[in-house]
Amino acid sequence: MVGAAAALALSRAGFSTALLEAREPAAWHPQDDVDLRVVGLAPSSIKLLDELGVWTSIRDARACPYAHMHVWDAQNGAAIDFDAADEGRSELGYIVENNLVQWELWQALDAAGVQRLCPVAVKDFETRADRVVLELADGESVSVRLLVAADGGNSPLRVRAGIATSGRDYSQRAVVAHVNTERPHGHACWQRFLPSGPLALLPLADGRSSIVWSLPEGEARRVLSLEDEAFIKELGVASDFRLGRVTATTRRVAFPLKLQLASAYHAERFALLGDAAHVVHPLAGQGVNLGLRDVAELRDVLAAARDEGRDFSSPQVLHRYARRRRSADMLDAYGFDALARVYAWQSAPWVAARGVGVRLVDRLLPLKRRLAAHAAGL
């Protein structure tokens, strides 16, 4: 999503752009079941996708708006609520399938003048005085003024650029599935912090809810191995039956959780975007939103430099992008990490103190509105 959005944004801003991709995204069809991987798009992401000309088709295809979010602590009952009406908006965001966003972006590339090279793999690259030359696995080469890497958390391009990372492994996996429940989701997101990790129920356009259940490695493997009947019973208990009994589930998959930040967001004629730059805990659902904010910032910084007659790929210009985005991403990444640590505290005094803090934040409307605006990217 982030790489395709970057290619589309830069091309629409007037840059000659090529997108190198290992494989095409799977075609999205309305008759297909909902993709197990979904994303909660914040207003900042929706604004960017609208500027790129793809949001209306995404929204009208199969996207579910959510107007309310309820977060509560399983140990002390403390809760915090966010409501779109309090922010003067009709919704807080939308829950959308990953592959729907990927497919709509992919289809828009040709009309925007993006040269698509697919399937292709980058074998190596060499940075020269005025350009970067990429050596492809098929023996061909591509010469560019700026190389933008949005090739995921394990980014081979980041490694080849010599950029290190720091962070920690949470020793957890997020178990993902779509479930039917007795009661409708009411276009609300529900998140319960359990001693084992957070459980989120996210509303889907077809009336079901998508779950993201963060569990220790061993517990995640056990949950994945359960028969459906046993799984939905455990899930009902874990969700405090907020939507009534869970009545059915899809297959389940899981992915590992970690915190990872690149030590730098740029090198000579080279910039990082999305998961290649930062991987965060999913408890706040902000991973893709941070990546799309990277896209908007990079587009704006490069376009401003070009319009001023400067070399848009110069170290000074790339440093401006990196300084703005890395500080913002670090604040969010370590904020989410701090939340994960705080909710992992199990001693009675800490649990009680945590409850007092959450209840206080829920009552301090200016602070809560500031948190909501930050999450929205406003």
pLDDT tens digits, 280-308: 988 877 889 999 999 999 999 999 999 99
For residue 368, name the pLDDT band (cuts at 50, 70, 90): confident
pLDDT at residue 370 is higher than 90: no
Do β-strands 188-194 and 197-203 pair in parallel, antiparallel, or remain unpaired?
A: antiparallel
Residue type (1 letter), 212: V
Contact 120, 22 (CB under 8 A): yes
Question: CA 132, CA 188: separation in Å to the nearest integer?
Answer: 47
pLDDT digits (tens, 9 = 90+) for 135-153: 999 999 999 999 999 999 9
Handedness of CA 175, 181, 186, 191 (dihedral sign): negative
Could you give the count of Cα atoms lying within 13 Å of 229 in the half-sphere of its Cβ? 0
Q: What is the mean pLDDT of residues 341-361?
A: 89
Q: Which residues, including other chains, have CB under 8 Å from residue 28's CB and lie 6 or more apart?
A: 61, 97, 99, 100, 102, 103, 104
Question: CA 338, CA 342: separation in Å to the nearest integer?
Answer: 6
Angle at 40 between CA 38 and CA 43, to 5 degrees: 145
pLDDT at residue 88 is higher than 90: no
Q: At 38, is the secondary structure helix, strand, or coil?
A: strand
For residue 340, name the pLDDT band (cuts at 50, 70, 90): confident
Tokens of 111: 């009309």
Question: Which carries the bigger pLDDT value, residue 124 or residue 372?
Answer: 124
User: What pLDDT score does 236 carry?
Assistant: 97
Domains of the chain and any CATH numbers: 1-66+94-167+259-376 (3.50.50.60), 170-257 (3.30.9.10)
Question: CA 260, CA 322: separation in Å to the nearest integer?
Answer: 16
pLDDT at residue 267 is higher than 80: yes
Question: CA 352, CA 364: separation in Å to the nearest integer?
Answer: 19
Residue percentage of the chain with pLDDT more than 70: 100
Q: Minimal CA–CA distance to 273: which of 166, 165, 158?
A: 158
Contact 366, 84 (CB under 8 A): no
User: What pLDDT score does 197 carry?
Assistant: 93
For the chain, the distance separating the N- and C-terminal CA atoms, rounded to the nearest angstrom, is 21
Question: CA 146, CA 312: separation in Å to the nearest integer?
Answer: 8
pLDDT at residue 339 is higher than 90: no
Q: Minimal CA–CA distance to 274: which of 214, 325, 198?
A: 325
Residue whose tokens read 């103190």 = 353
Q: What is the mean pLDDT of residues 254-258?
A: 95
Tokens of 360: 């206080």
C-alpha gyration radius of the chain = 21
* Lowest model confidence (mean pLDDT) among 2-6, 105-109, 184-188, 366-370: 366-370
Q: Which residues, including other chains, have CB under 8 Å from residue 164's CB and lie 6 or more apart?
A: 262, 263
pLDDT at residue 46 is higher than 80: yes
Question: CA 266, CA 161: separation in Å to the nearest integer?
Answer: 9
DSSP 209: E
Handedness of CA 14, 376, 99, 161 (dihedral sign): positive
Question: Mean pLDDT for the chain?
Answer: 95
Do β-strands 68-73 and 188-194 pair in parallel, antiparallel, or remain unpaired?
A: parallel
pLDDT at residue 376 is higher than 90: no
Q: What is the number of other CB atoms lying within 10 angstroms of the CB of residue 166?
A: 9
> Would you say the pTM of this structure is higher than 0.75?
yes
